[in-house]
Structure 1
Amino acid sequence: MAAYLNRTVSMMSGDGPHNRSPMPSLPDHRQIRNSADNSPLQIFVKAKKKINDIFGEIEDYVKDSVHYMQDLQKEPNILDKDAVTKTEEYVRKVHGIRDVLARDHMKVAFFGRTSNGKSTVINAMLRDKILPSGIGHTTNCFLQVEGSPNDEAYLVLEGTTDHCAVESVGQLAHALCKEKLSESQLVKVYWPKNRCLLLRDDVVFVDSPGVDVTPNLDEWIDLHCLDADVFVLVANAESTLMVTEKNFFHKVSTRLSKPNIFILNNRWDASANEPEFLDQVRRQHQERAIDFLVKELKVCTAKEAEERIFFISAKEALLARIAEQGNTSPSMALAEGFQNRYFEFQDFERKFEECISKSAVKTKFEQHSQRGKFITNELREALDAIYNDAQKLRDDKLLQRKELHNKVNYTEQQLMVITQEMKQKIHNIVEDVEQRVSKALNEEIRRLSNLVDEFNLPFHPEPLVLNIYKKELHTHVETGLGSNLRARLSTALALNMEASQREMTERMQTLIPETQRNTSSIMLPRRQPFEILYRLNCDNLCADFHEDLEFRFSWGITTLIQRFAGSRSSFFAVKNNKRDDPNNTMIPPSPTDNVDGTLLYTSTTAEDWSILSRIALASVSSQGTMGGLLVAGFLMKTVGWRVIVVTGAIYSCLYLYERLTWTNKAKEKSFKKQYVSHATRKLKMIVDLTSANCSHQVQQELSGTFARLCHLVDEATTDMDKTLKGLEVEIMSLETAASRAKVLRNKANYLTHELELFEDAYLKGQH
């Protein structure tokens, strides 16, 4: 048998006498490995790697976008929470797509009636006898063969993670075993990728029980067929397509849009026994298969259907490949025409690889590519909107900053101008107030006698009563003067002050932003009308006043001498003062001394005359009787005694009259006259001080008002400076946000371009 196989291989190599056509030789392992690099399945492998790389970048990009948007939520009026939530959903979607891409493979499902050789076809494609096969109903459940991630052979039952020995597949999946699995249950067989090139290229084979042994076709389709890329119908070439086989694929075509179906007429080696009917039977099978694919299922054209119908012997192909690997020796004779059937099996594999690669790339990756483009486009639009909003807000903030900066400069300049103007205005008002107060106070001093005359408290020369009288008089004078000054000045000064303060407020208010004016009015409450306090302090001012209430005859010798001495002393005093100081003004005389009951009115230059008068009086009073007689004799001799008597009588009457009229009323009048004279002199001394004090009060009030207004402007300027700094921070933040949005938007364009290049390379060229 081994010799026969070797001869057959030699015939296929073109070396033997039985070579009837120039057929290519069987490839060895090196040829298979070299051809694998150029296999159509590599398109899927490369496309899978490429789209995985792209989605890796998309996942990083979406995460960066989420972090960017989460940071951007701190900025007002740029992004809402819904946009962040939507972007976070994209993270989960992209992660889910990556998981699917990691599991994506090319899946081919084998269906057919029982014992048509489905498992044998898979074994032949895997180049090893992995799945149970034989006569009768052998495969009892679904078997999925895929590449092992760790190059170990094992199997896993559905719903578990336990690894079982791969040899147990004959016990678990064989229909003749006592422990039978459910027909819809799946057993995954993991086979080392280095032992099968198809598995290395992410191809997964699904073997099924016969479609004629169960009515649960819909369940099969739902569980195992919806994600299949290619269906292989393994038919028995010794018979024809059965209704059960057709019904299954009719159900598949209703669930899937134009499924890719290959029809393998297995056991075609039986035709070697009837060579005379070979062509007729082949034509019959092919016509029926084409009608089934084109007219019944309508999944392809007639030309495409011809490329999907093959006549093979899976058992022969399996034996040849096992012998080719040197694992076992064939145990059966190969029928005539084996080489044609074997090469047709290889042709099926080649076209199957092309079809499954094209189909898998389209079905697996086209949808992912579209979803990736959708996600990147959505993010690009969102980022573009963020960029535009950030730019618009930045422009608005720049305009606000410019306007606010100009406002600050204008405020500072205007504050300087207003300050100079208000200083000058306050100075003018202060001078005006000083002049007014001085003029009014001088006028009131001239009318002081009237004010004193209005004082009507009972007068008595008793010292205790007189002290109380003087205190009350001090209060009366101070109150009266203050009241008169207020009546003359307060209204005009208050109006002038109010007008000035209102002007200050109005001009300074223009420098305060409207948003802060309400706050400023609270900080500067309405004050009571300004009123000047006239502090004359008459009690202390006239504390040195000493009244003289002693009776003095107005025609007495002493009084006459005093009058004469006083007038002359005043004359000489004025003359001496003028000679000493030409700018010195005359000060009215005031009572200074009280000598022998005589009140002396003198100045500092009348001291000598006081001394002379005292000497004269002393000399007159010291003559005694002799002196009086001499004077009387002299007068009698000169004018006569009658004149002397009459003169003495008149003199005595005048003395008596004055002495009788020297009552408390006269004393009060004399007291008030003395007080007026003394208070007038003292008040004139404080006119300048009082007017300066009043002007100082006005200056303090106006300066205080202006200082408070300046403080409000300073606070407003400080607030504007803080706002400027805040705007600077916001502008920088918006510039950073716009810059990052632009970078991420450009990356979205890059990823979209990458997906378009992927579609051009792997999808559009596959149609």
Structure 2
Amino acid sequence: MSGNVVTDLTQSFNSNTSRSLENGHNSLPNSPLKFFARAKSRSNDIFKGILDFVSEAETFLQDIKGKENEEYKVIHPFLEMVKGIIEKLNRDHMKVVFFGRTSNGKSTVINAMLRNSILPSGIGHTTHCFLQVEGTEASEGFLLTDDSEDPKSISSIKQLASALSTMKLKENSLIRIVWPNDKCRLLKEDVVFVDSPGIDITPDLDSWIDQFCLDADVFVLVGNAESTLMQTEKNFFHKVSSRLSKPNIFILQNRWDLSVDEEDAYEVKEQHYTRNTHFLTDELKVADKQEAKNRIFFISAKEALISRLHEDSKKSIPTGSLQKKFAERLSAFENFETAFEVCISRSAVQTKFQTHSERGKKIIADLKKIMMRTHTDCSKACEDQFHKRKETIDELSYLDKQLDLLTEEMKQKIENTVEKVEKHVSFVLNEEIKQLSALVDDFCTSFHPDNLVMSVYKKELHNHIEEGLGRNVQQRCSSEVHQQVENTQKEITDRLAALLKDEERAQLNNALSPCNFEMSYKLDCRNLCSEFEEDIQFRFSLGISSLMHRFLGTKRMKHTLGGGQNYIPRPVNSSTVMSHESDLYQHINEVLMSVTTSYAIITPRSTMGGIVAGLVLKVTGWKVVVAVGSLYCVLYLYEWLSWTNKSMERRFKSQFVEYAASKLRLIVDMTSFNCSHQVQQ
């Protein structure tokens, strides 16, 4: 995992750093600073893979357990943590901070390493605030200050950072000098330099350390070869050491060019070695004696800067600018840079990437535990589901068989119920048809033989019959049908509930609604009796046609009157009813004509009839015949006078009852079947 990145790179340092030191500072392809870029790139790739893994795990847990699950809540913050690490890795750089007393040459050392006079330098108190030099891909450099995001010209650095300027910023302010990478190899390798004001001019060291030093990879203490290590400098690094674990410290004894004419230069150099080594090993305890001695360099930053500026510009160095044994001091400066590059690169890999690596290891370890636990839970759940599935299949197989049996049983119950309903409705409907005359007699509406009035009368009578029959049948059938439907439904529900579990049985009972079945009995009496034609013309009860109709029947009477042939009489028009105001004698004549005609029709047909008529006349005599005729006329007159609208209505209702009953009997089976079909549905 990513935790091995630092170890691998550290081992790679040990094998390649020695080659860099042997080959010298100019071995750029094998520069130790390259390892930081490699570690940064490799760590980025690893954490991008971790990000994908965490994202996939989060999606998986969300799908199977939901966002409210505790494990999801643990993993979800990992995304932001990994994204933050990746973002910080992209911003991470190797940071070196230069400290020392005023006028010890800190700015000149940085200028010499940058091979350019960027930072202001000179005698006295020069740098008033913190200056940070970082690289950019831009072709021109610029300044950035804390109080503004607008870039400023590099030339304004003297006004903003110089202690001699009236426009200088506060001591704890930071000026970022963004310098093109192509002008300095160190900046291109992601190195950032921080220059500080003299530590002997302010007591506020703690805030400086917290604000600018806690993320530093290397500290460079720039001392003065003319003076020994002071307590002010020691106090500062004691405070740094208390906040950081074993900080990497280099000590530069600057201005060593002043010792060329000193006779005791060697003794002074040994004195500096002794005091500085004691400080690093015994007081700070950040290195052993050999390592501490390798962290101390005697240089002349001014000479190194002059030499490099003229070398880059390909100009000759002015006479007197460099002191004797210049090459020795320049070599010491280059050795410092090489050792510095090795140290800062190793330190950056260990301090910056080690922390991220440990966090990555912890994230992966936690994620592994969660996913292993999830895998175990899923395996157990899968096994449980397999057993449940087998049990469910067995239950379903049992239920299928029971449902098949239940279906057949319920079909039979429904058929029995339907058959009972059909018989009951048929019986009730036949009973109501037998009592149809009573229902017709209950109809009370003004009656008149006029066609218009008769049409309205029939329409209202049809409605009365249909409503009355429907109401009577419903009253006699609904309760029993409802009870049968309810009993059948209850039997089906009870049988079905026996196959269900308690919860399902409760849901079934809650889902069932009470039986609100209402059967519809549609008789459509109006269309059924639409062809009914009433005959309410006056007919004498002792008339020949009436007597023949009574004794012979309608068909035989028509056959007899037709002379034994198929005689189709002209239909009687109800509108030709005789008026009560007609002349009485006219009716008597019509009666006599009818009698005469009847006898005239009958007599030729039967010789026996003529013989019988003659015998009667001979035996009884004319007086008896006249008396009987008079009585016959009186009866006719009585019946004619009593032929009122009421009589017509009674005959109409009698005819309608007979006709409607015959028609209704035809639909008894259909109506009962329709009702049974409603029950079945």
> For this structure pair, what is the TM-score category when the shorter chain's length is used for normalisation?
0.5 to 0.7
1:211-230 correspondence to structure 2 within 5 Å: 211-230=199-218
The residue type equivalent to 2:671 in the other structure is Q
CA contact (8 A) 1:323 1:330 kept: no
Q: 2:103 aligns with which of 103, 112, 115?
A: 115
> Does 1:47 pair with 2:47?
no
Q: Could you tell me which residue of structure 1 aligns to residue 279 of structure 2?
A: 292
Q: Could you tell me which residue of structure 1 aligns to residue 572 of structure 2?
A: none
How far apart, in 2, do the equivalents of 1:612 and 1:483 lie? Answer: 56
CA contact (8 A) 1:434 1:692 kept: no
How far apart, in 2, do the equivalents of 1:294 and 1:508 lie? Answer: 97
> Does 1:141 pair with 2:129?
yes
Q: Could you tell me which residue of structure 1 aligns to residue 566 of structure 2?
A: none
> Does 1:200 pair with 2:153?
no
**1:427 Cα deviation after fit:** 5.1
Q: 2:349 aligns with which of 348, 352, 361?
A: 361
Say which SS state the counterpart of residue 246 (structure 2) adopts. Answer: coil
| CA deviation vs aligned residue, 1:491-520 (integer Å, no higher than 9, x gap) | 985565234422554477689998698777
CA contact (8 A) 2:154 2:177 kept: no
1:26–1:424 distance in 2 versus 1, CA, 3 Å: closer
Say which SS state the counterpart of residue 221 (structure 2) adopts. Answer: strand
| CA deviation vs aligned residue, 1:311-365 (integer Å, no higher than 9, x gap) | 3333343344345443440543766655554433333222211221122233334
**1:617 Cα deviation after fit:** 4.5
The residue type equivalent to 1:527 in the other structure is E
> Does 1:501 pair with 2:491?
no
How far apart, in 1, do the equivalents of 2:656 and 2:256 lie? Answer: 151
Q: 1:163 aligns with which of 145, 149, 152?
A: 152
How far apart, in 1, do the equivalents of 2:46 and 2:655 lie? Answer: 109
CA RMSD of aligned residues (A): 6.9
How far apart, in 1, do the equivalents of 2:471 and 2:184 lie? Answer: 120
| CA deviation vs aligned residue, 1:144-172 (integer Å, no higher than 9, x gap) | 22224313244445434243244x54565
| CA deviation vs aligned residue, 1:404-461 (integer Å, no higher than 9, x gap) | x99999999988996787467535653575478669988x99xx9xx9xxx9xxxxxx
How far apart, in 2, do the equivalents of 1:682 and 1:609 lie? Answer: 38
Q: 1:238 aligns with which of 226, 241, 251?
A: 226
**1:110 Cα deviation after fit:** 0.7
| CA deviation vs aligned residue, 1:718-763 (integer Å, no higher than 9, x gap) | xxxxxxxxxxxxxxxxxxxxxxxxxxxxxxxxxxxxxxxxxxxxxx
1:56-135 correspondence to structure 2 within 5 Å: 78-79=66-67, 100-135=88-123
Consecutive unaligned residues of structure 1, counting only runs of 5 or more, are 1-23, 456-463, 465-478, 552-561, 574-594, 600-606, 630-663, 665-678, 708-767
Q: Could you tell me which residue of structure 1 aligns to residue 297 of structure 2?
A: 310
CA contact (8 A) 2:470 2:523 kept: no
CA contact (8 A) 2:251 2:296 kept: yes
Say which SS state the counterpart of residue 199 (structure 2) adopts. Answer: coil
How far apart, in 2, do the equivalents of 1:234 and 1:65 lie? Answer: 52
Quick one: percent identity of the two aligned structures? 37
1:210–1:59 distance in 2 versus 1, CA, 3 Å: same
Q: 2:674 aligns with which of 696, 700, 703?
A: 700
The residue type equivalent to 2:98 in the other structure is F
Q: Could you tell me which residue of structure 1 aligns to residue 648 of structure 2?
A: none
Q: Could you tell me which residue of structure 2 aligns to residue 655 of structure 1?
A: none
How far apart, in 1, do the equivalents of 2:349 and 2:486 lie? Answer: 85
Consecutive unaligned residues of structure 2, counting only runs of 5 or more, are 1-20, 443-448, 450-463, 498-503, 557-590, 596-601, 622-637, 639-652
1:134–1:499 distance in 2 versus 1, CA, 3 Å: closer
**1:194 Cα deviation after fit:** 2.1
Q: 1:525 aligns with which of 508, 512, 516?
A: 516
| TM-score between both structures, scaled by the size of structure 1 | 0.55
Q: What number of residue pairs does the alignment pair up?
A: 580
Q: Could you tell me which residue of structure 2 aligns to residue 726 of structure 1?
A: none
**1:373 Cα deviation after fit:** 6.8
How far apart, in 1, do the equivalents of 2:607 and 2:481 lie? Answer: 60
Say which SS state the counterpart of residue 127 (structure 2) adopts. Answer: coil
**1:681 Cα deviation after fit:** 12
The residue type equivalent to 1:251 in the other structure is K
CA contact (8 A) 1:139 1:173 kept: yes
Say which SS state the counterpart of residue 176 (structure 2) adopts. Answer: strand
> Does 1:332 pair with 2:306?
no
Say which SS state the counterpart of residue 136 (structure 1) adopts. Answer: coil
How far apart, in 2, do the equivalents of 1:492 and 1:339 lie? Answer: 132
How far apart, in 1, do the equivalents of 2:97 and 2:132 lie? Answer: 9
| CA deviation vs aligned residue, 1:255-308 (integer Å, no higher than 9, x gap) | 333322212233344555456662x54444333323323333343445543442
| CA deviation vs aligned residue, 1:209-265 (integer Å, no higher than 9, x gap) | 221222232333233223322111112233321011111112222333332221223
1:693–1:410 distance in 2 versus 1, CA, 3 Å: farther
> Does 1:619 pair with 2:619?
no
How far apart, in 2, do the equivalents of 1:486 and 1:272 lie? Answer: 137
Say which SS state the counterpart of residue 118 (structure 2) adopts. Answer: coil
| CA deviation vs aligned residue, 1:36-56 (integer Å, no higher than 9, x gap) | 232111122233344455667
1:380–1:527 distance in 2 versus 1, CA, 3 Å: farther
Say which SS state the counterpart of residue 667 (structure 2) adopts. Answer: helix
1:269-668 correspondence to structure 2 within 5 Å: 269-273=257-261, 278=266, 280-302=267-289, 304-325=291-312, 326-332=314-320, 338-369=326-357, 422=414, 426=418, 429-430=421-422, 434=426, 497-503=481-487, 505-506=489-490, 521=513, 525-527=516-518, 614-623=609-618
How far apart, in 1, do the equivalents of 2:657 and 2:335 lie? Answer: 137
| CA deviation vs aligned residue, 1:378-404 (integer Å, no higher than 9, x gap) | 899999999999x999x99x99xx99x
CA contact (8 A) 2:135 2:179 kept: yes
CA contact (8 A) 2:32 2:342 kept: yes
The residue type equivalent to 2:282 in the other structure is K
| CA deviation vs aligned residue, 1:523-552 (integer Å, no higher than 9, x gap) | x73538989999999xx899679997779x
Q: 1:185 aligns with which of 160, 173, 187?
A: 173
**1:78 Cα deviation after fit:** 3.7
The residue type equivalent to 1:502 in the other structure is E
**1:196 Cα deviation after fit:** 1.9
The residue type equivalent to 1:141 in the other structure is C
CA contact (8 A) 1:56 1:98 kept: yes
How far apart, in 2, do the equivalents of 1:608 and 1:282 lie? Answer: 182
CA contact (8 A) 1:41 1:357 kept: yes
Q: 1:259 aligns with which of 213, 236, 247?
A: 247
CA contact (8 A) 1:132 1:169 kept: yes
1:145–1:680 distance in 2 versus 1, CA, 3 Å: closer
Q: Could you tell me which residue of structure 2 aligns to residue 658 of structure 1?
A: none
How far apart, in 1, do the equivalents of 2:80 and 2:244 lie? Answer: 28
The residue type equivalent to 2:35 in the other structure is I
The residue type equivalent to 2:278 in the other structure is D
More RCO (CA 8 Å, sep 6+): 1
Say which SS state the counterpart of residue 201 (structure 2) adopts. Answer: coil
CA contact (8 A) 1:217 1:248 kept: yes
| CA deviation vs aligned residue, 1:541-590 (integer Å, no higher than 9, x gap) | 99679997779xxxxxxxxxx99xx99x99xx9xxxxxxxxxxxxxxxxx
How far apart, in 2, do the equivalents of 1:382 and 1:375 lie? Answer: 11
Q: Could you tell me which residue of structure 1 aligns to residue 28 of structure 2?
A: 36
How far apart, in 1, do the equivalents of 2:509 and 2:605 lie? Answer: 75
